């Protein structure tokens, strides 16, 4: 990529963004359709498969960046993506309408539990970034990367149990949660690809996977070169421009959920994807042949703190249920915008960035 002119690199990067968006939306819809038909999300293995399918852009970028030794870019995209994707909920809040905030309408506590899982695994990132490289198991895998995967796996098992058999009764007057799971039928509408055969949906799913992976590699290669030429730290570029590019499918699926009235799913899906995303640090360790988290220290800890703060804002909003909007935004979204702005500004003045 170093021999390519900058305008060509920008064009390739933009094309990769478009492909990521289109393929990501298709991947979301085909995954939804296959889950309804085959029911592979009921058990732990199925839930893991669904999580991997939803994080393919980040997986492709992580593998490509780690293989190329661009550890800052890989880490910035993974942990910075938490904050960026959580900010998609601001757009969802705007789309809900001027009467009630999104968190008022959610009408379920499960998204708050999913938010706590995000806090738990992202805390592992913050602590792992402070570990000495010598703590790596076999000199390759950070113990924090393993702990994150273990806690995430246990966490989704607990959340699945809670979803099936909640040990509480909650009354949230005025709420409109919509579907609690994508497997539930859509009111007055068929599920995606209802008229297509399962084989055709599976083939489309596979093609979307390939496109997403190819686009992710293109984004990483061109993005790293553009960041180098612009003199931008890889962590910052990965946490901002690259994270925004890979968040486009989440924007589409989030707004689609709001349009269907699935307010609880809009938040739950966002938190669920964010919780799984940091599990990819284990993949980055294996591909890079060294522990990634300790290599980028302070910026990663800062981004982890930003992700935790934004997640906490919306998790608390689900419980507190603010009832008023200003400029189509609930107070939690306004607070999230302020925190995000300060967090990104602070990233530029951290030592080493």
Q: What is the CATH number of the domain that holds 82?
A: 1.20.1420.30
Buried b (16+ CB within 10 A) or exposed e, 248-285: bbbbbbbbbbbebbbbbbbbbbbbbbbbbbbbbbbbbb
Judge whether 82 lies within some domain: yes
Which residues touch 87 (CB under 8 Å, ≥6 apart)? 310, 336, 337, 340
Q: What number is the average pLDDT over the span 215-239?
A: 89
Q: Over the chain, what HEC string results?
A: CCCCCHHHHHHHHHHHHHHHHHHHHHHHHHHHHHHHHHCCCCCHHHHHHHHHHHCHHHHHHHHHHHHCCCHHHHHHHHHHHHHHHHCHHHHHHHHHCCCCCHHHHCCCCHHHHHHHHHHHHHHHHHHHCCCCHHHCECCCECHHHHHHHHHHHHHHHHHHHHHHCCCCCCCCCCCCCCCCCCCCCCCCCCCCCCCCCHHHHHHHHHHHHHHHHHHHHHHHHHHHHHHHHHCCCHHHHHHHHHHHHHCHHHHHHHHHHHHCCCHHHHHHHHHHHHHHHCCHHHHHHHHHCCCCHHHCHHHHHHHHHHHHHHHHHHHHHHHHCCCCCECCECHHHHHHHHHHHHHHHHHCCCCCC
Judge whether 254 lies within some domain: yes
Q: Which of 125, 118, 154 minimizes the C-alpha distance to 282?
A: 125
Q: What number is the average pLDDT over the span 326-350?
A: 93
Q: What is the domain extent for residue 265? A: 6-181+192-347
Judge whether 343 lies within some domain: yes
Judge whether 257 lies within some domain: yes
Residue 13: count of CB within 10 angstroms of its CB: 20
- pLDDT(271) > 80: yes
User: Which of the pair, 353 or 115, is modelled with greater confidence?
Assistant: 115
Percent of the chain's residues with pLDDT above 90: 50
- Distance, in Å, from the CA atom of 106 to the CA atom of 317, rounded to the nearest integer, reads 10
Judge whether 1 lies within some domain: no
- Distance, in Å, from the CA atom of 95 to the CA atom of 92, rounded to the nearest integer, reads 5
- For residues 41 and 35, the answer to whether their CB atoms sit within 8 Å is yes
Q: Would you state the pLDDT for residue 44? A: 62
Q: What number is the average pLDDT over the span 199-209?
A: 92
Bridge partners of 137, per DSSP, are 141
What is the radius of gyration, based on Cα positions, of the chain? 20
Q: Which of 202, 209, 108 minimizes the C-alpha distance to 162?
A: 108
- pLDDT(250) > 90: no
- For residues 22 and 214, the answer to whether their CB atoms sit within 8 Å is no
Tens digit of each residue's pLDDT (9 = 90 or more) over 141-182: 999 999 999 999 999 989 888 888 888 888 899 999 888 777
Bridge partners of 326, per DSSP, are 329
88's tokens: 């998609």
The separation between the first and the last C-alpha atoms of the chain, rounded to the nearest angstrom, is 24
- For residues 307 and 314, the answer to whether their CB atoms sit within 8 Å is no
Tens digit of each residue's pLDDT (9 = 90 or more) over 19-39: 999 998 888 888 888 888 877
8's tokens: 């060509």
As a whole number, the mean pLDDT across the chain is 89
- pLDDT(237) > 80: yes
Confidence bin at 194 (pLDDT 50/70/90): confident
Tens digit of each residue's pLDDT (9 = 90 or more) over 93-146: 999 978 899 999 998 898 999 999 999 999 999 888 888 888 999 989 999 999
Judge whether 168 lies within some domain: yes
In the chain, the number of structural domains is 1
- Distance, in Å, from the CA atom of 211 to the CA atom of 277, rounded to the nearest integer, reads 19
Q: Would you state the pLDDT for residue 308? A: 95
Judge whether 353 lies within some domain: no
Tens digit of each residue's pLDDT (9 = 90 or more) over 34-58: 888 877 766 666 667 777 887 888 8
Confidence bin at 90 (pLDDT 50/70/90): very high
- pLDDT(351) > 80: no
Which residues touch 38 (CB under 8 Å, ≥6 apart)? 198
Residue 241 main-chain phi, psi, to 5 deg: -65, -50
Judge whether 187 lies within some domain: no
């Amino acid at each position: 990529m170093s021999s390519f002119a900058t305008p060509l690199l920008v064009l390739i990067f933009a094309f990769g963004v478009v492909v990521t968006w289109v393929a990501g939306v298709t991947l979301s819809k085909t995954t939804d359709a296959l889950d309804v038909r085959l029911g592979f999300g009921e058990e732990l293995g199925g839930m893991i498969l669904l999580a991997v399918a939803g994080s393919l852009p980040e997986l492709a970028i992580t593998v490509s960046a780690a293989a190329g030794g661009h550890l800052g870019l890989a880490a910035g995209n993974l942990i910075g993506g938490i904050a960026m994707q959580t900010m998609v909920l601001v757009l969802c809040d705007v789309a809900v309408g001027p009467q009630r905030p999104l968190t008022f309408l959610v009408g379920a506590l499960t998204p708050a539990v999913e938010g706590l899982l995000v806090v738990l695994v992202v805390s592992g990132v913050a602590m792992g970034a402070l570990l000495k490289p010598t703590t790596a198991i076999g000199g390759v895998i950070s113990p924090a990367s393993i702990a994150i995967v273990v806690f995430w796996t246990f966490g989704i098992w607990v959340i699945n149990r809670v979803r099936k058999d909640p040990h509480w009764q909650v009354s949230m007057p005025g709420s409109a949660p919509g579907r609690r799971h994508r497997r539930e039928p859509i009111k007055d509408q068929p599920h995606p690809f209802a008229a297509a055969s399962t084989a055709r949906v599976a083939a489309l799913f596979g093609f979307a996977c390939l496109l997403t992976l190819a686009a992710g590699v293109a984004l990483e290669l061109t993005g790293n070169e553009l960041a180098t030429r612009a003199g931008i730290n890889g962590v910052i570029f990965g946490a901002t421009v690259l994270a925004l590019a890979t968040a486009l499918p989440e924007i589409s699926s989030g707004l689609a959920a709001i349009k269907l009235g699935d307010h609880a799913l809009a938040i739950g899906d966002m938190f669920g994807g964010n919780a799984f995303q940091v599990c990819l640090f284990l993949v980055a360790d294996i591909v890079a042949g060294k522990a990634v988290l300790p290599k980028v220290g302070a910026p990663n800890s800062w981004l982890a703190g930003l992700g935790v703060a934004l997640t906490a804002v919306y998790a608390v909003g689900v419980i507190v249920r603010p009832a008023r909007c200003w400029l189509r935004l609930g107070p939690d979204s306004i607070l999230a915008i302020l925190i995000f702005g300060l967090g990104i500004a602070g990233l530029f003045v951290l030592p080493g960035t």
